[in-house]
Amino acid sequence: MKKLIVITSLLFASSSVLAQDDIMDALDADNDGRISLEEASSDAALSSVFTELDVNKDGYLSASELES
């Protein structure tokens, strides 16, 4: 049972990273490694929480901000 829990946890963590990479690849139009509000506007769900995710309030979402 412990193995199943560990494997499930690892799969969940890796899928979260993959999802973050997919979001960054899809929305980072200028390939600067961050997503601006303008770039995020093409995704209604992301643009609706952009301000909350932008922890340092620089107007961009970094990979680490997308992780949270």
CA-closest candidate to residue 27, choices 55, 11, 50: 50
Task: Name the domain count of the chain.
Answer: 1
CATH number, domain of 43, equals 1.10.238.10
- The pLDDT of residue 67 is 83
- The pLDDT of residue 59 is 98
CA-closest candidate to residue 45, choices 28, 60, 27, 57: 27
Q: What's this model's pTM, rounded to 2 decimal places?
A: 0.69
- The pLDDT of residue 20 is 74
Cα 32 from Cα 10, distance rounded (Å): 29
Could you report the per-residue pLDDT of 5-57, keeping only the tens digit for each? 544 444 444 444 447 778 888 999 999 999 999 999 998 888 899 999 999 99
- Structural domain boundaries enclosing 17: 2-67
